[in-house]
A and B are shown apart, each in its own frame.
Chain A
Amino acid sequence: SQQGEEDPQALSIQEGENATMNCSYKTSINNLQWYRQNSGRGLVHLILIRSNEREKHSGRLRVTLDTSKKSSSLLITASRAADTASYFCAPSSGSRLTFGEGTQLTVNP
Chain B
Amino acid sequence: GAVVSQHPSWVICKSGTSVKIECRSLDFQATTMFWYRQFPKQSLMLMATSNEGSKATYEQGVEKDKFLINHASLTLSTLTVTSAHPEDSSFYICSALTGDRGKVYYEQFFGPGTRLTVL
Contacts and interface: CB of A to CB of B under 8 A. Distances in A.
A92 B107 CA distance: 10
Chain A CB within 10 A, most for which of B4, B44, B91, B115? B44
Interface of B: 4, 6, 32, 34, 42-44, 46, 49, 91, 93, 95, 97, 104-113, 115
A43 interface: yes
Contact of B107 (A33, A42, A96): A33
A88 B110 contact: no
Contact of A42 (B34, B43, B105, B112): B112
B43 A99 contact: yes
Contact of A88 (B43, B49, B107, B112): B43
Contacts of B34: 96-97
By secondary structure, the A interface counts as loop
B110 A42 contact: yes
A43 B44 contact: yes
A98 B34 CA distance: 11
A95 B112 contact: no
A6 B4 CA distance: 26
A94 B95 CA distance: 15
Given A95-B108, A96-B34, 6 more contacts: A42-B113, A45-B109, A92-B106, A96-B46, A97-B95, A101-B42
A41 B113 contact: yes
B106 to A, nearest CB: 5
B95 A43 contact: yes
Interface of A: 30-31, 33, 35, 40-45, 48, 50, 88, 92, 94-102
B110 A95 contact: no
A41 to B, nearest CB: 6
B3 to A, nearest CB: 11
B111 A42 contact: yes
A43 B46 CA distance: 13
B105 A43 contact: no
B106 A95 contact: yes
A45 B46 contact: no
B107 A43 contact: no
